[in-house]
With several copies, the nearest count.
Chain A
Amino acid sequence: MKDVFGLIISGTEDQELRDLTMMRSIAAVPIAGRYRVIDFYLSNLVNSGIHNVGVITYRNYHSLMDHISGGVEWDLSRKRDGLFILPPMSQHTNHNGFYSGTAEAINGVKSYISRCAQNTCLLHTNCRTIFNTNYSQAYEYHKSSGADITMMYGIPGNKTEPPSKGEAMISVDESGAVTDVFPGRTYKKSDYISMDTYFINKDLLLRLVDDCVMRGGTDFIRDIIIPSLGKLNVKGFYYTEPSYKIDTLERYFKASLAFLDTGIRNSLIDGSGPVYTKVKDEVPARYSKSSRVANSLVSDGCYIEGSIENSLLFRGVQVARGAVIKNCIIMQESQIQANAVLENVILDKKCTILRGRRMVGTENHPMIVAKGSTI
């Protein structure tokens, strides 16, 4: 993978995740008890031997920058190559700094792309899939098939649900050529869902983006991929390992709870290599005499006096005596006071649930509490 660089668009308008993406791009959303979504993307790239990665930031990128800046944790703090945070504005755009579509986002970082020493771009147009892979097989396929563009596609782990609105589905013929790309909610021609992951030659990418933007196009799929079908050699690479979409709140909730399954957790956290993330200095989790815990993931810094079941606790969560937590995702530094009851709830960071309060969502409609709330 010496000749490949990675390019990640860290967010667009991810309305479906509601409060989780109000203050941060989807790439910075906490997941699996101690990670952020982008950890999976960066770790996959690094574990595949890709050491030059550009991350295009979006509106609220403070938390993303806090998390990845420097790149040390992913071994991307390097003199040559390494991690590049590419702010959403650029001397080349005439807009007020924000891109509205994926093609525009790429257009804003053309100078980074041109400077890359590597000739092939591994492009992630979004960060809405959790998967753990080594791209070498896909890259071999891309090279040996002579494709101009190779799209990765698969059938995500949460496949029983219908495709979501923003999702791109694809049809592939016997030769592996992509014959159609269509929005998930329109009509059903195949079960294959795009992983938003592409191999494409750097110069071709620059040319296609130039051309697209000149004609007023903004979206990578609508304005670049679809018009290219039939004209360019666009191949599909079928991804067989587990993957989870997190593009809606419900999917995010289910993907999170899937981590409680040891087999799924192992394959997502160490399937093709470990997932790296930022290390915090936390004391080990502490359980008191009165604590109860079952089928849960608990991070360092937690202090558990109450009862936890089927839940994920991020670091520094406090659960007081008598509190009951079931089927919940409790993010960093939240406090659950004595005798509070939570079921099917997602608490964002630094929330406080007061003594004795009770919140109950359903499996398909978890309740979500915005960052910093006191209930």
Chain B
Amino acid sequence: MKIENLERPVCVFPLTSNIRKKETVAMLLAGGQGSRLGALTAKMAKPAVPFGGKYRIIDFALSNCSNSGIDTLGVLTQYQPLELNSYIATGQPWDLDRINGGVYVLPPYMSAKAGEWYKGTANAIFQNINFIEQFEPEYVVILSGDHIYKMDYSLMVDFHKERGADLTIAVQTVPWEEAGRFGLMVTDDNDRIIDFEEKPENPRSNQASMGVYVFKWEILRSFLIADDADPDSSKDFGKNIIPAILAAGKSIYAYDFDGYWKDVGTVESLWEANMDLLSESSDLNLYDADWHIYSRNPVMPPHYAAAGADVSDSMITEGCIVEGKVENSILFAGVVISQGAQVKNSVIMPNTIIGNDSHVNYSIIAENAIIGCDVVFEGGSPSCISVIGPEAVIPDSAVIKEGARLSAEDAENLFGEV
């Protein structure tokens, strides 16, 4: 006998699980701080920010994966991952607790040589090449955890296969006047991307990248390795990997997506996306039985609307108690709107209390905050939203200026300890 004739027995699996080959693996970038959301992301990563009464931003990407039949994905975390870790946990709420595949949270780690933080979106994937390799995928889908949209990735993968593309980038047609804010794809008549412009002054295209990519894994792998060796690279998909693939003459296609899609990177866009849920005309429909958006929620009793409650044009979820008036607003679990309080055009995150006779308008109030009695939120408008951070306490009779942004510490400094 010779060594080359030795054979492993059948049914031999890797140590920890029955991992089998997967055609498609998704990698979800969820490490961003989302610093433009200020106090809302002081203690949690942006994808963990609550949205729409009982969801978090990342629920959309996770539910999209689940509904698209992509059952194997890595979630790349780095900034304040505790909340996100325990939120995702086994992936059960998204039906992603698969034995063969499922969802894996991937923080940065220390190897025999050194420990390295993720230095950029591309570096985060690079550091997890081994994770991806164990599934021997043909295709890798790269997603971002901070967009609100419902998208069937499997259709995009099909498109990618049909075109035999090396890389497919999902694009949205945006109004020409706004195009300059985006990364834009210049395509030929066959949807093939011939050029790429990052926030140009004079746009040649109005097809904006959604940050959703499908790669042939072997192509992505080789470009990640080459990019890592380049000391001048900032290890970013948009700045380095995609330009390099384009320059190498690989076939890159644009996949046009015309559904609802919103980057909730600013307070105003986050507020707007929440309000879109209350709009009859919005494309953002959560009632679609074929495309459930899943989330993890503790069990609470139904919400209670007291005898004097006045509720219109709003979404209210479990555990809330409404004694006052709620108009055109979204209340998350466990929120209390006390007697005489008026909440309009606002988003009130979990377990927050609005005291008696307080008037809240055009605001996002984060979780576990306490707004005292007779507090007044002045003015405000869709382009000027006030934010009260998690755990903040606003004393009785305080006046919150329009567009104020107050973390718990700010509030304490401003009003003293209550």
Which residue numbers of A lie inside 8 Å of B, CB to CB?
2, 32-34, 72-75, 77-80, 260, 262, 265-266, 269-270, 273-277, 279, 281, 283-291, 293-300, 308, 312-314
B316 close to chain A: CB less than 8 A: yes
Check if B297 sits within 8 Å of A279, measured CB to CB: yes
Check if B292 sits within 8 Å of A281, measured CB to CB: yes
Give the top 4 A-B pairs by smallest Cβ distance, nearest first: A284-B53, A284-B317, A33-B302, A270-B10
28 CB < 8 A contacts A-B: A2-B69, A33-B302, A34-B302, A72-B99, A74-B99, A265-B304, A274-B13, A274-B18, A274-B299, A279-B299, A281-B93, A283-B315, A284-B53, A284-B318, A284-B331, A285-B303, A285-B316, A285-B317, A288-B312, A294-B305, A297-B301, A297-B302, A298-B302, A299-B303, A300-B317, A300-B318, A313-B302, A314-B302
Task: Give Cα A364 to B312, complex, Å.
Answer: 33
Check if A293 sits within 8 Å of B299, measured CB to CB: no
Please name 6 further chain A to chain B contacts, defined as beta carbons within 8 Å, in addition to the given A270-B10, A289-B313, A298-B305, sorted by A numbering. A34-B318, A284-B331, A291-B311, A294-B306, A295-B306, A300-B54
Check if A293 sits within 8 Å of B18, measured CB to CB: no
Which residue numbers of B lie inside 8 Å of A, CB to CB?
9-11, 13, 18, 20, 52-54, 69, 92-93, 95, 97-100, 286-287, 292-295, 297, 299, 301-309, 311-318, 321, 326, 330-331
Q: Which residues of A contact B11 (CB under 8 A)?
A: 266, 269-270, 274-275
Task: Give Cα A293 to B308, complex, Å.
Answer: 9
Check if A298 sits within 8 Å of B316, measured CB to CB: yes
Which of B301, B304, B306: most chain A CB closer than 10 A? B301
Looking across the interface, which residue of chain A has its beta carbon closest to that of B308?
Answer: A294
Task: Give Cα A288 to B330, complex, Å.
Answer: 12
Task: Give Cα A51 to B52, complex, Å.
Answer: 31
Q: Which residues of A contact B9 (CB under 8 A)?
A: 266
Out of B10, B97, B99, B316, name the residue touching A269 (CB < 8 Å). B10
A144 to chain B, nearest CB (A): 21
Q: Which residues of B contact A294 (CB under 8 A)?
A: 305-309
Q: Which residues of B contact A287 (CB under 8 A)?
A: 311-316, 326
Q: Which residues of A contact B18 (CB under 8 A)?
A: 274, 276
Q: Which residues of B contact A290 (CB under 8 A)?
A: 312
Task: Give Cα A32 to B318, complex, Å.
Answer: 13
Task: Give Cα A74 to B303, complex, Å.
Answer: 21
Q: Which residues of A contact B93 (CB under 8 A)?
A: 79, 281
Looking across the interface, which residue of chain A has its beta carbon closest to that of B313?
Answer: A289
Q: Which residues of B contact A283 (CB under 8 A)?
A: 53-54, 286-287, 315
Given contacts A72-B99, A291-B312, contact A296 B304 (CB under 8 A): yes
Task: Give Cα A327 to B401, complex, Å.
Answer: 43
Task: Give Cα A75 to B92, complex, Å.
Answer: 12
Given contacts A265-B304, A270-B10, A300-B318, contact A281 B312 (CB under 8 A): no
Task: Give Cα A284 to B349, complex, Å.
Answer: 13
Task: Give Cα A32 to B297, complex, Å.
Answer: 19
Check if A293 sits within 8 Å of B309, measured CB to CB: yes
Out of A79, A277, A300, name the residue touching B95 (CB < 8 Å). A79
Check if A299 sits within 8 Å of B302, measured CB to CB: yes
Task: Give Cα A94 to B360, complex, Å.
Answer: 61
Q: Which residues of B contact A265 (CB under 8 A)?
A: 301, 304
Which of A276, A288, A293, A294: most chain B CB closer than 10 A? A293
Task: Give Cα A291 to B309, complex, Å.
Answer: 11
B94 to chain A, nearest CB (A): 8
Looking across the interface, which residue of chain B has its beta carbon closest to that of A277?
Answer: B299
Interface of A is mostly: loop
Looking across the interface, which residue of chain A has its beta carbon closest to that of B317?
Answer: A284
Check if B299 sits within 8 Å of A275, measured CB to CB: yes
Looking across the interface, which residue of chain A has its beta carbon closest to that of B318?
Answer: A300
Out of B286, B301, B314, name the residue touching A33 (CB < 8 Å). B301
Q: Which residues of B contact A276 (CB under 8 A)?
A: 18, 299
Q: Which residues of A contact B314 (CB under 8 A)?
A: 286-287
Q: Which residues of A contact B97 (CB under 8 A)?
A: 77
Check if B309 sits within 8 Å of A75, measured CB to CB: no
Q: Which residues of B contact A300 (CB under 8 A)?
A: 54, 302, 317-318
Q: Which residues of B contact A34 (CB under 8 A)?
A: 301-302, 318
Q: Which residues of B contact A308 (CB under 8 A)?
A: 305
Q: Which residues of A contact B95 (CB under 8 A)?
A: 78-80
Q: Which residues of B contact A72 (CB under 8 A)?
A: 99
B330 to chain A, nearest CB (A): 7
Out of A2, A273, A312, name the residue touching B302 (CB < 8 Å). A312
Q: Which residues of B contact A296 (CB under 8 A)?
A: 304-305
Check if A285 sits within 8 Å of B315, measured CB to CB: yes
Out of B100, B305, B330, name the residue touching A284 (CB < 8 Å). B330
B289 to chain A, nearest CB (A): 10
B190 to chain A, nearest CB (A): 29
Task: Give Cα A317 to B302, complex, Å.
Answer: 12
Task: Give Cα A79 to B295, complex, Å.
Answer: 12
B83 to chain A, nearest CB (A): 19
Check if A73 sits within 8 Å of B299, measured CB to CB: yes
Check if B99 sits within 8 Å of A73, measured CB to CB: yes
Task: Give Cα A276 to B53, complex, Å.
Answer: 21
Looking across the interface, which residue of chain B has its beta carbon closest to that of A78?
Answer: B95
Out of B53, B99, B312, B318, name the residue touching A299 (CB < 8 Å). B318
Q: Which residues of A contact B303 (CB under 8 A)?
A: 285, 297-299
Task: Give Cα A262 to B10, complex, Å.
Answer: 10
Task: Give Cα A326 to B104, complex, Å.
Answer: 47
Q: Which residues of A contact B294 (CB under 8 A)?
A: 79, 281
Task: Give Cα A313 to B302, complex, Å.
Answer: 8
A331 to chain B, nearest CB (A): 12
Looking across the interface, which residue of chain A has its beta carbon closest to that of B98?
Answer: A75
Task: Give Cα A269 to B300, complex, Å.
Answer: 9
Task: Give Cα A312 to B293, complex, Å.
Answer: 26
B27 to chain A, nearest CB (A): 22
A313 to chain B, nearest CB (A): 7
Q: Which residues of B contact A285 (CB under 8 A)?
A: 303, 315-317
Task: Give Cα A289 to B294, complex, Å.
Answer: 27
Task: Give Cα A273 to B21, complex, Å.
Answer: 11
Q: Which residues of B contact A75 (CB under 8 A)?
A: 98-100
Task: Give Cα A224 to B81, complex, Å.
Answer: 58
Q: Which residues of B contact A262 (CB under 8 A)?
A: 304, 321
Task: Give Cα A295 to B98, complex, Å.
Answer: 36
Given contacts A269-B10, A297-B304, contact A286 B309 (CB under 8 A): no
B249 to chain A, nearest CB (A): 36
Looking across the interface, which residue of chain A has its beta carbon closest to that of B53?
Answer: A284
Task: Give Cα A296 to B302, complex, Å.
Answer: 9
A119 to chain B, nearest CB (A): 15
A360 to chain B, nearest CB (A): 21
Given contacts A281-B295, A285-B317, A287-B312, contact A295 B99 (CB under 8 A): no
